[in-house]
Structure 1
Amino acid sequence: MSGSRHPSMDRRTLLVAAAAGALATACGTAAGQPPGKVAVLGDSLPWEKPMAAAGAAMKRVASLQLVPEVNPSLESFEQIVRSSLRTNKTPDMLKYWSGYRLQDLARTGGIEDLTHQWDDAVAKGWVDPSLRGAFTYHRRVYGLPMNLAYWVMFYNPQVFRAHDIKPPGTWDGFLTACARLKKAGITPLHGTAADRWPSFIWFQEVLSRQDPRFYQDLMNGRERYTDPRAERALRTIASFFDKDWFTPMDLSHTDAAAALVRGTVGMVACGTWLGSTLAGAGGKPGENVGAFVLPMADPKARPSVIFESSALVATVKGADHDEAVEATGAWLHPAVMRAFSGALQDGCPNPKVKAANPVIAGLAKKVRGDKLWLLNRFWEQGPPELVEATVDDLAGFLLNPSSYRSTLRTMQGRADEAWKVWREAEQS
C-alpha cells in the first residue's frame, strides 16, 4: 500500500468526476423531501434499515420521518459531502465521523451548531455527557452521537470452555489465553490489513492498554511516534507475529467473524458493531459469541476502552434545513434510539436505552459501572490526512513487522507536517 498523503492526479480527477456524477443521484435531498420527511446521507448499507427504523419511530414522537440515502463508496461519499456543502445541493443531514473529521467539516461553515440540542439532551438524561468532546469544535457541538460502539475482543465461549480458558481479567491472562489457543491448534488472534483501514487496530489496542494517557496525547499531537512507548507497542505486536498468533493479513472481518463462530479463530478485536456480522455467520450471543474489554497491560494505568460513535449532522444549506434541525432535537429521544440501536444491534449513546444484544448490554454495564475512560478510535483522532497516511504505514508494518522503527520514523515525519498545517489553519 502507498504511504503517500495525496492520491495521484489521475486518481483524484477520477474521484472528482465520479462525485460529480453521483451528486445528482446520491443527493436526492437537493430537491428536498416531501413535508414531514428529511433525508440522511450516509456511507454504510448496513445502516439503511436501522435508519429507516429510527425514522419511523421519530415520525411517531416528532411527526418527522428520516429517509436514509446511502453512497457505499467511502471516497465518493467524502467527495460528495465536501463539494456539495458549498452549494445549495447539499444533503439535509449526514451520517459522519466524530473527532477531527467532524472538526474538519465544521471548519467549512457548512454544518449547523447543535449545542442547544446537546444541552437539552444532557438535561433530559438522553446522552452520556462524557462523549461531548468527540463532537465539538471550538467548544461548540456540531454533531450528535448515533451509536456507541466499544472496541472489544470477541471470542467463542464454547471454544474457551473446551480448552479451559476464561475471559482474561489481566494482560498476563490474555497472553496465556493466546498461548493455550495456539497449542490447541486454533489461531489465537485476527489481524488484518484487508480493506486498508483496519491496519490501525492492533496499534490502537496495544498502545491504549499499555499507556492510555500516551495514546491520547499522541493522537492529539502532544507526543511523538518515535517515543519509546510507541516503539514498545509495535514491538509487542511484532512478538505476536513471532509466536504465529495472527491470522493471514488478508482475512476480512466478515471471514474472521465466520471463523470465530466455527471455532478456528480464537479472538477478534473490533467494535461492537461486528455483532450483526457475527449473527449473520450463525453467532448467538452468550452461546458461541461473547466479548470482553482487553485488560490493561499496565495495572497502574487508568482503566480505559476505545469507543467509536458516528455523528448525525445537519447542513446549513440543505433544502429541508428547518426540518433537519428540528429532527436533531428528536434524535436522542429514547423511542428513536431504541428503534435504531435495536435494529443496528450495537450500543446506544442514550444511557436510558439498554442494548438489545445481551453481550453488548453486558459490556455497556461494565464500561459505565467501572467508569472506564472513553478514548476515541484511531480513525477519528488527528488531522484526517495524517490518519489516512499512517494507516498505510501501519499496513506496511503488519506485512513486515521487523520494520517497526522505520515505520515510526516515517509516521512522525508525516505527523510533524500534518500538525503544522492543522495548527496554521486554526490560526487563520
Structure 2
Amino acid sequence: MTVKGWRLLGALVLALLAACGKEPAPAAPPRSTVTFLHYFTDSLSGGVGETAQAFNAQNASHELKAVSLDHEAFKSSIRDTLQAGNPPDLYSNWAGARTAAIVDQLQPIDDVWASAGLDRVFPPAVTQAASEYAGHKYLLPLTQHYIAFFYNKRLFAEHGLQPPATWEEFLVVCQRLKAAGVTPIALGARDKWPAQFWFDFLLLRSAPYAFRQRLLNGEERFDDPRVLAVFARWKRLLDAGYFNRSPHPNSLAWDSGANEMVYRGEAAMTLMGTWNIGYFTNAAHGWVAGRDFDFFPFPVIDPQLPRVAMGPIDGLVLPRQAANPAGARAVLAYFAGAAAQQAFSRGSGALAPNRQVPASAYSELQQRVGDEINRSPIFTFAFDLAAPPAVASLGLDAFADFLAFPQSYPEIVRQLAARAAVPGKTRQ
C-alpha cells in the first residue's frame, strides 16, 4: 500500500473511532394526543380538517385528532361522555343554552383568554353573548353565522322580482312565483331544527325581543296570543301553497333536499344559515355568490320593532375531566388566531368572530352579511340554542307537528304550553 493509501486508511479509522465515541442524538419526545369531538360534518364540515392539519404541522408537542359526528348523534354523545366521565379533550358546542346546560362539567378558559390576549381579538358583544357563563370564560368562539333567505337570482330575474324588505312585499313575491308555477319557499325540516327559524323570525318581527326571551325562559306561556298569532300567520303561508308540498317539509333534508330545489330552480328561496354559502359555492355546485345566488334578511312585519339578527355561534369547550388539558389549551389558543378562524370562514361561509381577520378575507356577500349584523341592535341565538334543552326539544317537536297538521295548531300550542310549564315533565 502506498503512503497515500495508508494515510486515507488511518483517517477512515480515526473517523470511525470518533463516531463510535459520540453520544447518539436524543430522540424527540413523542407528541401528546389531543382528542377533539365535533359536529362539523357533511355539508357543514368546511374548515375543520384544514385547520387541524395546520395545527399538527406547526406544533411539535401536541397532535390534534379530530373525530366528527352528525348533529343529532353529537347531542347524545356529549351528554353521555360527560356523564360517564370519559370525555374527549375538546368538544365543539353551540354558544348559549347548550353550553350553559353543561357549564358545571367544563373547565374555565380564563387563563387561555388572558395569555392569548383574547379581549383584543373578540368583540365584547360576542364575548358576552357566547363565551361568558357564571362569571368566567368557557367557550372559545369559532364561527358566527346569520340566518336569512337565500335565493336563486336567475329565477328572481326571470320573474322581475326584487328581494322584499317588508312582509307585504314578501307576500307579493310569493304570489307571483306561485302563479308562475315556481315553488316560492323550499323548507327541508326532516331534522326538525330548520323549521325553528320560521317560528323565531315570525315572533321576533311581530313581538318585542324581551317577550321572546321571557317566553324561552319560562316567564311567559306558549299559548300567549302573540305566539298563537305566529302560528296563524305561518299557517296562511302553508295554506297558500307557498312551501313545497311534495316532498313534504318533514320528509325533506335541508341540504340535499331544500337547497337542491333552489339550485335546480324548482324553488326560489330557502330560509337558512350562512353555511349555505359554503354549500352553494362548493365544487359540486360551483355557484358564484352574488351572481348565481344571494341573500336578503327576513322581512319587516312591525316597523316599530328594533331589527333583530339571528344565528348560531359555534365554539370549543374544555371538559373538566379532559385527559390532556395542557394540549387542549394549546389547541384553543391556535384556533383563536386569525389564520385558523379565516380557514373556518372560508370553508363554512361564516363570519370569523376574530375581528383581526381582514375584510378582504370575505366575499362581497359575506361583507354584506356583516353589515346586516352590525346594523341590527340585537343579535340572538335561534330557538334551540336560546331555550333550555328540554324546552327546545319540546318546541322542535311542536313545529314538526304543526307542519304535519297546521289546522291543529291551537291544540299543538296548548300542549306545548302545558308541557313546557311543568318542570320535570318535559321530554329530554
- TM above 0.5, one fold? yes
Q: In structure 1, how many angstroms separate the alpha carbons of the residues matched to 2:287 and 2:354?
A: 26
> How many percent of aligned residue pairs carry the same amino acid?
26
Counterpart of 1:414, as a letter, is R
Deviations 1:59-115 (A, max 9, x none): 57776554321123723x3443333335563200001122111111113xx211124
Larger CA deviation: 53-62 vs 157-166: 53-62
Distance in 1 of aligned mates of 2:280 and 2:377? 25
What is the alpha-carbon distance in structure 1 between the residues aligned to residue 113 and residue 422 of structure 2?
Answer: 34
Range with bigger deviation, 394-403 or 250-259: 250-259
- Counterpart of 1:364 in structure 2 is 370
8 A Cα contact 2:147 2:274, kept in partner? yes
Letter in 2 for 1:182: K
State how 1:182-331 maps to structure 2 within 5 Å. Answer: 182-213=178-209, 214-248=211-245, 249=249, 250-254=251-255, 255-279=257-281, 280-331=284-335
> Structure 1, residues 120-141: CA drift from partner, whole Å, max 9, x if none?
6553233453452334332323
Pair 1:69 & 2:71 matched: no
Alpha carbons of 1:65 and 1:377: their partners in 2 closer, same or farther (altered >3 Å)?
farther
Structure 2: runs of 5 or more not aligned: 1-28
From the superposition, tell whether residues 157 and 70 of structure 1 become closer, same or farther in structure 2 (CA, over 3 Å): same
> CA–CA distance in 1 between the matches of 2:285 and 2:377?
30
Matched with 1:112 is 107
Work out the CA distance in 2 between the residues paired with 1:121 and 1:159. 47
State the alpha-carbon separation in 2 of the partners of residues 209 and 93 from structure 1. 37
Match of residue 400 from structure 1:
405
Alignment of 1:71-90 (within 5 A): 71-72=69-70, 74-75=72-73, 77-86=74-83, 89-90=86-87
Report the TM-score, using the length of structure 1 for normalisation: 0.82
Pick aligned residue for 1:179 from 175, 178, 181? 175
Contact residue 31 and residue 63 of structure 2 kept, 8 A? no
Which residue identity lines up with residue 234 of structure 1 in the other structure?
Answer: F
Shift of 1:357: 4.1
Paired residues of 2:345 and 2:352 also in contact (CA < 8 A) = yes
Alpha carbons 1:383, 1:418 under 8 Å: kept: no
Asked if 1:97 corresponds to 2:110, the answer is no
CA contact (8 A) 1:51 1:67 kept: no
8 Å CA contact retained: 1:43, 1:95: yes
Kindly state the Cα deviation for residue 179 of structure 1 after the two structures are TM-superposed: 1.6
Partner secondary structure for residue 214 of structure 2: helix
CA distance in 2, matches of 1:347, 1:392: 30
RMSD: 2.6
Check the 8 A contact 1:56/1:65 in 2, yes or no. no
2:139 paired with 1:143: yes
Amino acid at match of 1:278: F
2:13 paired residue number: none
TM-score, normalised by the number of residues in structure 2: 0.82
Cα deviation digits, residues 216-249 of structure 1 (max 9, x gap):
3322223221111111111110010121101122
Q: Could you tell me how far 1:191 is from its partner in structure 2? A: 2.6
The answer on whether the counterparts of 2:148 and 2:295 sit within 8 Å (CA) in structure 1 is yes
Partners of 1:297 and 1:34 in 2: CA distance: 60
Structure 1: runs of 5 or more not aligned: 1-32, 422-428
Paired residues, number: 386
Name the SS of the counterpart of 1:291 in structure 2: strand
2:50 partner amino acid = A
> 2 CA distance for matches of 1:34 and 1:104?
36
- CA spacing shift, 1:372–1:164, aligned 2, 3 Å: farther
Residue-by-residue CA offset, 1:259-305 (whole Å, 9 max, x unaligned): 21222211100111122222344432112210111122111101111
Q: Cα gap change, 1:342/1:418 in structure 2, threshold over 3 Å: closer, same or farther?
A: farther
Amino acid of the structure 2 residue aligned with 1:104: A
Paired position in structure 2 for 1:134: 130
CA contact (8 A) 2:186 2:262 kept: no
Change (3 A) 1:121 1:306: farther
Alpha-carbon distance between aligned partners in 1 of 2:347 and 2:231, rounded to the nearest angstrom: 37
